[in-house]
Amino acid sequence: MIFDRPTSIELIEAVIDFLDSEIKSELPPHLAFKIRIVTNVLKIVQREVNLGDQLSEEAKKLIADAIEDIQDPSMNKFAEAIKNGNAELNKESLKKALIEITKSKLSVDNPNYSTYKKLVE
Amino acid sequence: MTEDLSSKLFSSLSDSGIHGRIEDLVPLTGGASKEIWKFNLVDSKESTRMIFRRGAQGESSLAIKTADEAKIQEEVSKTGVSVPQIIFVSNDSKLGDAYVMKFIEGETIPRKILRDERFKSALPLLANQCGEEIAKIHNTPLDNLQFLPKKSSKALVEDLYLLYESYKQPSPVFEYAYRWLKEQDFGNFEDSLVHGDFRLGNILVNESGLNGIIDWELAHIGNPIEDLGWMCGNSWRFGNSQMVVGGFGNLEDLIAGYNSVSAEKINAELIKTWQVFGTFRWGVICLMQVYAHLNGTVNSVEKAAIGRRVSETEIDIVDLLLLGGK
């Protein structure tokens, strides 16, 4: 990486802190609600920058285990294999891939979501 | 804008024989795709609280005409469903696709209903009441509702899949759900009026429980169990996921309420099948909203954020189909 600090994550964190501590309290309720959406979006970006590469690599391995002879595993190819009937739907490795990849998505998109919390406990 | 609307409302209502001044006209933040205003209609004897509801530009393509919602509310009120009384339906260019109904008291905001002290006594009654009201909706004669879209369960699944496919964002979980749904028996029922979006947010709740049903824009004719499965989806439990029905009740009470009114006897397994369908449906509606933003139809950070909520419906489907979730 050729860039200086702050890192991209640190930049996003600074913006989240600013919105939370200085802006939110100054706004009327309907805009405070929108700012909450904005900080939630930034937190998704923050988590994706932190975890995204690792989770995507793990997903590729899970997909390769689930679908025989798959070249260059991706979410598109995984979906296509299920659609075309090239995947054995009852196979444990397929179920595992669906479960684990979906959990990975939630760990970035919304780790507070009730079903995610239930499943990782 | 408010003054202009006020004078248009006054003249349209007068033309149809409803006389009175329009006072305290203010917009409400309601559904995302509708304009909703409240006002008082004041004549020499009394002041009556009213709601004006109008379809907006860029509305969801799944929604029916706003004026048609009024026709449904008139029909279901005849079978005893609690709905606001319609007093005027607009059929001219002055007010557009809109109607006026009497105000009914009640809270719609889910988190308030689930958490405020005021509704403590209402919550235990609500699942049974919802079952009864949904059954009454399904008992509504269809003779005057033939303008509504009508679909078999199989066609509903196919159409939903096509809509999902049109966004070209392949989801392994949705593909899996589709293959599962294609194998299911959805139950043989007579065609019924389906509300299409029955859940907290679209019902009015007071201290005694259910006081009215609103937001009929996704109504259609089809398999009645769709409504029951929809409101059991985890997306509509608002964090109270252990309470299967809407975040406040259990399935037994919902079914008991339904069976006390309906001649069709239903069971939990069938509701679960429709719950999977409903969860997939909500996921596709989220896709639809985010692509309205990505295609440039609307530019909105809220709609952008919804794109990352599609995965919530995926994890709910995974939980239901692979991990024994309820």
Q: Is the pLDDT of residue B33 over 90?
A: no
Q: Is the dihedral of CA B308, B229, B223, B79 positive or negative?
A: negative
pLDDT at B62 (0 to 100):
81
pLDDT at B60 (0 to 100):
64
The mean pLDDT of A72-90, rounded to a whole number, is 94
Task: Answer yes or no: do A119 and B312 touch at CB < 8 A.
Answer: no
Task: Provide the 8-state DSSP code for B307.
Answer: G
pLDDT at B30 (0 to 100):
56
Q: Up-side HSE of residue B67: CA atoms within 13 Å toward CB?
A: 11
Structure tokens at B93: 């260019």
Q: Are the CB atoms for B114 and B240 separated by under 8 Å?
A: yes
Share of chain B above pLDDT 70, in %: 97
Structure tokens at B54: 């109008």
Rounded CA-CA distance A78/A86 in Å is 10
Reduced to 3 states, what is the DSSP secondary structure of residue B256? helix
Mean pLDDT of chain A: 95
Q: Are the CB atoms for B5 and B37 separated by under 8 Å?
A: yes
Q: Is the dihedral of CA B302, B308, B310, B313 positive or negative?
A: negative
The nearest CA of chain B is from the CA of A54 a distance in Å of 18
Band (B72; pLDDT cuts 50, 70, 90): very high
The mean pLDDT of B162-186, rounded to a whole number, is 97
Q: Where are the domains of chain A?
A: 8-120
pLDDT at B10 (0 to 100):
94
SS3 content of chain A, % helix, strand, coil (to 5): 75, 0, 25
Q: Are the CB atoms for B213 and B203 separated by under 8 Å?
A: yes
If you measure CA to CA, which chain B residue comes closest to A37?
Answer: B302
Closest CA to B309 of B288, B283, B291: B283
Phi then psi for residue A27, to 5 deg, are: -100, 150
Count CB pairs under 8 A between chains A and B: 87
Share of chain A above pLDDT 70, in %: 100
Reduced to 3 states, what is the DSSP secondary structure of residue B233? coil
Substitution target in B275, B314, B323 with the highest count of A β-carbons within 10 Å is: B314
B239 to chain A: which residues are within 8 Å by CB? 114
The mean pLDDT of B47-69, rounded to a whole number, is 85
Task: Answer yes or no: do A40 and B170 touch at CB < 8 A.
Answer: no
Rounded CA-CA distance B53/B41 in Å is 15
Separation of CA B126 from chain center: 17
If you measure CA to CA, which chain A residue comes closest to B237?
Answer: A114
A residues 78..97 contacting B (CB < 8 A) = 78-80, 82-83, 89, 95, 97
B16-20, B31-35, B181-185, B267-271: which has the minimum mean pLDDT? B31-35
Q: Is the dihedral of CA B304, B308, B310, B316 positive or negative?
A: negative
Rounded CA-CA distance A117/A112 in Å is 6
pLDDT at B31 (0 to 100):
55
Torsion of CA B57, B59, B63, B65, to 10 degrees: 0
pTM score, whole prediction: 0.94
pLDDT tens-place string over residues B78-89: 999 999 999 999
**B82 - beta bridge partners?**
none
Band (A67; pLDDT cuts 50, 70, 90): very high
pLDDT tens-place string over residues B87-107: 999 977 889 999 999 999 999
A80 to chain B: which residues are within 8 Å by CB? 170, 175
- Which among B175, B308, B314 is the nearest to A102, CB-wise? B314
If you measure CA to CA, which chain B residue comes closest to A96?
Answer: B322
pLDDT at B94 (0 to 100):
87
Band (B2; pLDDT cuts 50, 70, 90): confident
Rounded CA-CA distance B101/B84 in Å is 6
pLDDT at B170 (0 to 100):
95
Substitution target in A15, A43, A114 with the highest count of B β-carbons within 10 Å is: A114
Band (A33; pLDDT cuts 50, 70, 90): confident
Reduced to 3 states, what is the DSSP secondary structure of residue B212? strand
**ipTM of the complex as predicted:** 0.95
pLDDT at B32 (0 to 100):
59
The mean pLDDT of A84-107, rounded to a whole number, is 95
Reduced to 3 states, what is the DSSP secondary structure of residue B24? strand
Structure tokens at B158: 């196919």
Which positions ≥6 away from B58 have C-beta within 8 Å?
B33, B292, B297, B298
Place of tokens 């059954």: B135
Rounded CA-CA distance B321/B202 in Å is 28
Band (B58; pLDDT cuts 50, 70, 90): low
Q: Is the pLDDT of residue B241 over 90?
A: yes
Mean pLDDT of chain B: 94
Structure tokens at B58: 């860029």
The mean pLDDT of B28-32, rounded to a whole number, is 65
The nearest CA of chain A is from the CA of B225 a distance in Å of 24
A105 to chain B: which residues are within 8 Å by CB? 311, 314-315
